[in-house]
Structure 1
Amino acid sequence: MGQLLAAWRLIRRDLRRHPGETLLFLLAVTVAATALTLGVATDDAVTTAYAKTRAATAGPDILMTTTDPDPADYVERLRRIPEVRAVGGPFFAYDTTVGAHGRSVHAGAEGRDGTRPAVDRPLVTSGGWVRPGGVVVERGFARELEVRVGDRVTVGGREMPVVGTAISAATGVYPWSDRAQGPGPSDWGGMVWLTDEDARALAGDDPGVRLIQVKLADPDATDGFGDRLRERGVVPDGWFNVLRWQNILRTDTAMIQGTRPTLVVGGTLLAVAAIVTLTALAVGRTARDNRRAALLKVVGAGPGTITAGLLAQYLLLTVLATALGLTAGTLAAPHFVDPSDGLLNTASAPAPGTVLSALALAAAVAGTGAIGPALRATRFSTVHALADPAHLLTHHPRLNAVTAYLPTSLLLGVRLLARRPGRAVLAGAGAAATAAMITALLAWYTALAAAPDALRFGPLEVRTDRTGQTLLAVTLTLVALSTLNTVLLGWSTAVQARRALTISRTLGATPGQVVTALCVAQLLPAVPGVAVGMPAGLGLYWLFGETYTPPASWLLAAAAGILAAVAALTALPAWVHSRSPAAGVLHSES
């Protein structure tokens, strides 16, 4: 209990005296956990949303479409099959166009009456159900048309008021919600409901199709159901399409086929950036942790107690950040999985696999950034930590020989880099993660420019837009985190090298050369990072997407922009430190 109390007091003191470090830690781990949670949970979220929609609308297990104008006989035969629990329909439906705000969109129109069938009862989400002279629009289709209850649309050339919006599990989300199409090639489109009289009147000479919905005693026993019906002679030999509920779920899941890999890969790259953030924070608190470890050794604490005390804060913040990431990802998942707004998107508890994945990622990020500095603090000399003498630099004769004839700025920058190779690895890793995500974004825009008009301007634009928005959001988040990392690394480098650089100034180096030297120390590892990150970004995009390569001018401009940003973000803290009087710096160090 005494050790726990001491650890809690240390945590509380750090949280109170260094709130900025705490917020940065929480931000870095939460962002990575949120992105990964979204990527892992999207498939489960689609399944959950579709299951809730099926339950709320008495969704069918089997959907049948036939061109037979009077299928009443075999509907009765269907009801007598032991494995069939209920049958809905037949409902008349036909293919048409729906127009609003100067646009005309392909759609299916289904006739309904005022009764509530045993199977497929669309859930009204606004307004009311069908009535003579009015139309109910599927909710995702209504959003695409930008219509609400009370607006007017044209159905097959006839203007009608929108009396309601609804959702149904008997159709895929927009743009796969048109189920009134007969034999031949099918097309994307929406869905509307009318009264049966209005639907038949608007269809005119179009014979349309009949829709039959079947509910089974075992919803999972759908494989081969249509073949069994034909073998028993229940259905005629003519055109008769059978669709299972699993097919609709796969169609709905296709809406996120571009967003899921973006979130998973983006979450991994954000984890890399988060590791850089945490390591930069740990570097900044190295002297404080070394002194704390020395004081604990003096009062008799062992290595295990010291390590636990230093890591307790990180463990507590990691658990909190994981909880925040899981919550944010779970709440945001419904909006990612259904961009067309055709399902009941209510947040539900994350699956155990999602929780484990987020915990593993957070533990890896926090452990990589915190365990190493904590262990080094326990091994650090107690006397040196308490006395805090000047640190002797390692002599590198070969490095001195190589850099002796370099310009002053480059000479100082290379030597700063050689003294702290670990920080160079961090800077390179951050630049590589940023370059990879930006390259993937450029590849996506290149693929979009080459895509057919159906993906760019047709109904599938809904899915394309969501993929682009997700990719852009992850890229901007990664750029923001990398910007923070560059400032942190530049600041810590300037702080730790201020004595050596001040001595260089007393020997004739100008403040401009000192600033340039610090920029060189950040730019040199960023160059190979960008060189590795761009091919990696292309490879990841080719793995999950198509083999499109952005123009060379785009890639060169992106690389130049990343390196220029690194230089600019490093120059600011370097300039601040270079303005300190040399005498004051040397006196404070002594």
Structure 2
Amino acid sequence: MTVGHLLLTWRLILRDIRRRPGEAVTFLLAVTLATASLTLGTATTDAVSTGYAKTRAATAGPDVMSSTTDPDPSGFASRLAHLPGVTALGGPFFAFDTTIRAHGRAARCAVEGRGTARSAVDRPLVTSGTWVRPGGAVVERGFARALGVRVGDRITVRGRSLPVVGTAISAAIAVYPWGDPAQGARPADWGGMVWLTTADAHAAAGGTPGVHLIYLKLSDPAAARGFGRSAAFQAVRPTGWLGYHYWQDVLRTDTAMIQITRPTLVVGGWLLTVAAMVTLAALATARATRDNRRAALLKAVGAGPGTVTAVLLAQYLLLTFLATALGLAAGALAAPRLVDPSAGLLDTVSPPDSGTVAAAVLLTLMVAATGALGPAVRAARSGTVDALADPAHLLTHHPHLNAVTAHLPTSLLLGVRLLARRPGRAALACAGTGATTILVTALLAWHTELDATPAFKRFGPLEVRTDQAGHVLLAVTLAMVALSTLNTVLLGRSTAVQARRALTVARTLGATPGQVVRALCFAQLLPAVPGVAAGVPAGLGLYWIFGTTVTPPGSWLLTAALTILLATGALTALPAWAHARNTAGRVLSAGTA
């Protein structure tokens, strides 16, 4: 393509966007939502790893974390410090497990005694306020958020009321609610972390037995998993109980926080992609007459089919790649907050990796090719004279269909024949409705699981992870519902516009405006029914794969299915009613749009 052709294409794109900015914004928003969701889903694991690595670097995070009840923890720590491969040691730090109270709520946590001097290994990073001082407590940031406490608030530790002087994060513990390393030989599944001075920790513990935490830095962090099994380590084991874990265990635990969220985003991203394809196809169908006329004018002045196809596709390709960039940027900005729901990591925005970019580009190319390539090629191949004249498109003759529908009511007969005339549009409507039904069904399953969970189990890990997954699922579902609403209106409008002459002829033969409106609604509702019927079991199956085997009440599923179908009919009736307002004579005598 020459420079002149490129300049012409660019001018035509700008002219079309200026004349109809709503269509461009609609398509841009649809593809951006799909790309952002998919980007978040594919980038979450890397975002957790990146956040944890930055937290380890900023806090001198340990490679091996051990806790012991040895009566001589200092001697055990000294023996560990002389083991081969150990480059630095922090501790031993006294810690005990207890239940604290804040704002009337009780929560389990570890209380660790620390000095005011910086430790060689594990130096918690203060994110607000100051570090520990006599009579003051520092709360791990994620735990503080769960409790709703800030600097200046007070917490109660074993009857002692202490002011919160700061919040901090550490890589030696997993993010809340798995941040309690002082539970001894019988660890529970959740808890937080509070730091006091060593004297305050011993005073608060009283006669409560505790453990001593020792943090090790190794010359080869990758070899941490084999450290506990080494002969050298076994030779210096303490006399009391010993527990230890590695930095890889902490990272795996942190990643588990998003094990429900990630599939929601990935599956939701691909379902939003289906909705974006429907949006683009609906927009391309709605502007088919304009594109046909533009193609005819270009060919009339000497443009070939290749040039015409390129001109018609250029705007869609430009918008898809712009939407890809916006989606990737939005996903990268949102990923740190999404993957760290308990605020326990040092989160910073990082650019998406090559795999995420490749997935996003593939998604947008699929959208552009599926939604716009077919209409553009058809417009390029159409005859110049026919496209300029915009002749009436007669209904395709289907002898068997005519025989089957001959005895149907007028509205249903017209609707079935409109459906048979454009089966591709019916497939789009079915796919879009099915995608929406899948997410709505999954959301109902999530609520069913939450309602079936005993209240005492909703705190801790289940509370944080379920809330996060629920918020993400709700956001993706709302985005899908919004796109489906838009798609239903666009498909209804395009069907009404393209069938205006055929339906007007039906009106001249005796069909009433109400029958025409119902016919257009039937043309949209008939393909929506199998979409809903397939979407309900598909949504349950996906939830069972990634979640738990729970089934919402049948009344919920039936109500959701009927609501989707009623909404589809109501949204289709709006453009259908606008079409039926025009008199038959006006439509038949109107020129090209």
Q: What residue number does 1:583 align with?
A: 585
Query: What do the CA deviations read for 1:22-65 (whole angstroms, capped 9, x no partner)?
Result: 10110111000000001001111111111111111111010010
The 8 Å contact of residues 59 and 170 in structure 2, kept in 1 or not, is answered as: yes
The 8 Å contact of residues 395 and 502 in structure 2, kept in 1 or not, is answered as: no
Q: 1:304 aligns with which of 306, 311, 331?
A: 306
Query: What do the CA deviations read for 1:408-428 (whole angstroms, capped 9, x no partner)?
Result: 111111111111111111111
SS in 2 for 1:164: strand
Q: What residue number does 2:21 align with?
A: 19
In the TM superposition, 1:455-474 aligns within 5 A as 455-474=457-476
Query: What do the CA deviations read for 1:431-468 (whole angstroms, capped 9, x no partner)?
Result: 11111111111112222222344542445301111111
Question: For residues 474 and 232 of structure 1, what CA distance do their matches in structure 2 show?
Answer: 51
1:232 deviates by: 5.3
1:92 deviates by: 0.6
The 8 Å contact of residues 142 and 176 in structure 2, kept in 1 or not, is answered as: yes
1:540 deviates by: 1.0
In the TM superposition, 1:186-585 aligns within 5 A as 186-228=188-230, 233-585=235-587
Question: For residues 10 and 489 of structure 1, what CA distance do their matches in structure 2 show?
Answer: 25
Change (3 A) 1:46 1:458: closer
Question: For residues 396 and 312 of structure 1, what CA distance do their matches in structure 2 show?
Answer: 37
The 8 Å contact of residues 70 and 239 in structure 2, kept in 1 or not, is answered as: no
Q: What residue number does 1:119 align with?
A: 121
Q: 2:11 aligns with which of 1, 9, 12?
A: 9
1:340 deviates by: 0.8
1:376 deviates by: 1.1
Query: What do the CA deviations read for 1:261-289 (whole angstroms, capped 9, x no partner)?
Result: 00000111100011000000000111222
Question: For residues 9 and 160 of structure 2, what CA distance do their matches in structure 1 show?
Answer: 74
Percent same amino acid among aligned pairs?
70
The 8 Å contact of residues 26 and 321 in structure 1, kept in 2 or not, is answered as: yes
Query: What do the CA deviations read for 1:122-141 (whole angstroms, capped 9, x no partner)?
Result: 00011101011110011111
Question: For residues 270 and 92 of structure 1, what CA distance do their matches in structure 2 show?
Answer: 51
- Bigger Cα displacement from structure 2, 145-154 vs 285-294: 285-294
In the TM superposition, 1:63-82 aligns within 5 A as 63-82=65-84
Query: What do the CA deviations read for 1:544-574 (whole angstroms, capped 9, x no partner)?
Result: 1112111111111111001000010011111
- Bigger Cα displacement from structure 2, 295-304 vs 19-28: 295-304
Change (3 A) 1:412 1:589: farther
SS in 2 for 1:171: coil
- Bigger Cα displacement from structure 2, 351-360 vs 561-570: 351-360
The 8 Å contact of residues 454 and 461 in structure 1, kept in 2 or not, is answered as: no
SS in 2 for 1:26: helix
Unaligned runs of 5+ in 2: none
Question: For residues 294 and 582 of structure 1, what CA distance do their matches in structure 2 show?
Answer: 28
- Bigger Cα displacement from structure 2, 497-506 vs 294-303: 294-303
1:218 deviates by: 1.3
1:212 deviates by: 0.5
1:538 deviates by: 1.2
1:236 deviates by: 2.3
TM-score of the superposed pair, with normalisation by structure 1: 0.98
Unaligned runs of 5+ in 1: none
Question: For residues 459 and 240 of structure 1, what CA distance do their matches in structure 2 show?
Answer: 25
Question: For residues 575 and 301 of structure 1, what CA distance do their matches in structure 2 show?
Answer: 39
TM-score of the superposed pair, with normalisation by structure 2: 0.97
In the TM superposition, 1:17-96 aligns within 5 A as 17-96=19-98
SS in 2 for 1:290: helix
SS in 1 for 2:7: helix
SS in 2 for 1:226: coil
Change (3 A) 1:502 1:387: closer
Question: For residues 154 and 237 of structure 1, what CA distance do their matches in structure 2 show?
Answer: 34
Letter in 2 for 1:554: W
The 8 Å contact of residues 69 and 207 in structure 1, kept in 2 or not, is answered as: no
Change (3 A) 1:353 1:459: closer
Q: What residue number does 1:136 align with?
A: 138
Question: For residues 238 and 72 of structure 2, what CA distance do their matches in structure 1 show?
Answer: 11
Letter in 2 for 1:339: P
SS in 2 for 1:366: helix
Change (3 A) 1:187 1:549: closer
The 8 Å contact of residues 230 and 237 in structure 1, kept in 2 or not, is answered as: no
Letter in 1 for 2:577: W
Letter in 1 for 2:251: L
Question: For residues 426 and 459 of structure 1, what CA distance do their matches in structure 2 show?
Answer: 40
The 8 Å contact of residues 307 and 378 in structure 1, kept in 2 or not, is answered as: yes
- Bigger Cα displacement from structure 2, 495-504 vs 85-94: 495-504
1:299 deviates by: 2.8
Question: For residues 569 and 167 of structure 1, what CA distance do their matches in structure 2 show?
Answer: 50
Question: For residues 343 and 286 of structure 2, what CA distance do their matches in structure 1 show?
Answer: 47
SS in 2 for 1:549: coil
1:111 deviates by: 0.3
Question: For residues 233 and 511 of structure 2, what CA distance do their matches in structure 1 show?
Answer: 92
Change (3 A) 1:459 1:258: closer
Aligned residues: 590
Change (3 A) 1:374 1:81: same
1:575 deviates by: 1.0
Query: What do the CA deviations read for 1:195-248 (whole angstroms, capped 9, x no partner)?
Result: 000001111112311000011111111122112156551222532111100000
Letter in 2 for 1:84: V
Question: For residues 433 and 131 of structure 2, what CA distance do their matches in structure 1 show?
Answer: 56
